[in-house]
Amino acid sequence: MALDPALLCASLSVVERRADQASAYFYAHLFANNPDVRSLFPVEMAEQQDRLFAALTRLVGLLDTSERLGAYLATLGRDHRKFEVRPEHYPAVGASLLATLRQFCGNTWTPAVEKAWTEAYSVIAQAMIDAAAAVSPATPAWWDARVVERQQPQSDLVILTLAPDRSYPFLPGQYLTLCSPHAPRVWRPFSIANAPRPDGTVELHVRKVPEGMVSTALVDATRVGEALRLGPPLGDAVLPSGSQRPLLAVAGGTGWGQTKAVLEQVAYAPRRTTLFLGGRCDGDHYDSAGVRLLAQRHPWLEVVSTVPGERVPGSAGVRMMQTAILEHGSWAGHDVHLSGPPDMVREVAGLLRSRCGVAGELIRHDPLPTTFCRSRPTNSAERFLMERDVCWINRTELGI
């Protein structure tokens, strides 16, 4: 089926002018005509509305890149199993989507536009349905996990050890999505901070995000014995299988957790590894003892701290790290793993490609948002058009 991305983009640009109203209309139409679907969504819908249309614009933007679109839809379809989405839900969503577009496109809604959207949604829905159906019945849609250990090294940060109710297979460098009973039906991604262990436990390093429902619940309210729900492991920021190239690891903030998992994997097949550990001040790093212990145990690991003595802006910390990386020597021929704030990862990756001779395919990190914008828009159209980080969309889009 030949899709028409240009026609879809043109019609969507009309809806963008009334993004808030269109989002509200969509969910009102969906729930009014399918009341049984309401229980699949969070109680608080404002954020969900934002995500719906951000995902829609992302999908439309990928329609002319079939390989990337296919990978994105397959991952979304598999991951939507944890939301208890079933094939019969897709026609209801499609009907409400078309009704919303028809309502807000006004005179620009033509039979050709309706045909284009009907065909596009059919492709999207079927790809997601097929991907979910292809998952082995033995693979859970989610895991229930109990908190068995809790450490709080800083007031805004917690280290949780979870015991899933069954085997939870993952690779070091992957992340999971998590749902807390303190914020039902709200899922957030968190990097896994350990390599697989004999006891099957999973470690998470969580820093509280301002106004973040799940991170706040995990840091302030979650206690040992509490049950959390885990989605399947995601992400391809893993080391190349069988590689014996030297490794450069760069970590900042709670990105240390993901890096720690990778280093624990390297310990099983040691190779020369250099770790650059960044932050905005000495107190910014919460696991100095763990870092020292790894360095003492493993002679193949060199740790270079680029943490200033006094607190500095994040950009200054990134510049300090970049300078240290450049001064340390050549990184050509190294595998590279980056984990930390998006601006740090983006700038370090660019430096390694442009000035350090590192091939792009050897640099691994989670997918990055186009921007990490925290400014507040002045109107609904600006809010919709603003490129921003929508975590579950950007982190689910593997390899993009």
**What pLDDT tens digit does each residue of the chain (400 aa) get?**
567 888 898 898 888 788 888 989 999 999 999 999 999 988 877 667 667 777 787 888 888 788 888 988 999 999 999 999 999 999 999 999 999 999 999 999 999 999 999 999 999 999 999 999 999 999 999 999 999 999 999 999 999 999 999 999 999 999 999 999 999 999 999 999 999 999 999 999 999 998 889 999 999 999 999 999 999 999 999 999 999 999 999 999 999 999 999 999 999 999 999 999 988 776 678 998 999 999 999 999 999 998 776 776 768 888 999 999 999 988 999 999 999 999 999 999 999 999 999 999 999 999 886 543 444 444 444 444 444 444 433 343 333 2
Strand-pairing partners, residue 245, are: none
Distance between CA atoms of residues 324 and 320, nearest Å: 6
Amino acid at 124: I
Residue with tokens 């969910």: 27
Q: In terms of Cα–Cα distance, which of 208, 182, 211, 178 is closest to 192?
A: 178
Distance between CA atoms of residues 117 and 97, nearest Å: 9
Beta strands in the chain (DSSP E): 143-154, 157-164, 175-179, 187-191, 202-207, 227-230, 247-252, 273-278, 301-306, 335-339, 363-364
DSSP-based three-state secondary structure for 254:
coil
Strand-pairing partners, residue 278, are: 252, 306
Distance between CA atoms of residues 143 and 233, nearest Å: 11
Contacts of 288 (CB under 8 A, 6+ apart): none
* pLDDT for res 62: 84
* pLDDT for res 389: 43
Q: Are 344 and 320 contacting, i.e. CB atoms less than 8 angstroms apart?
A: no
Ordered by where they begin, the domains of the chain are 5-137+378-388 (1.10.490.10), 143-230 (2.40.30.10), 247-364 (3.40.50.80)
* pLDDT for res 42: 87
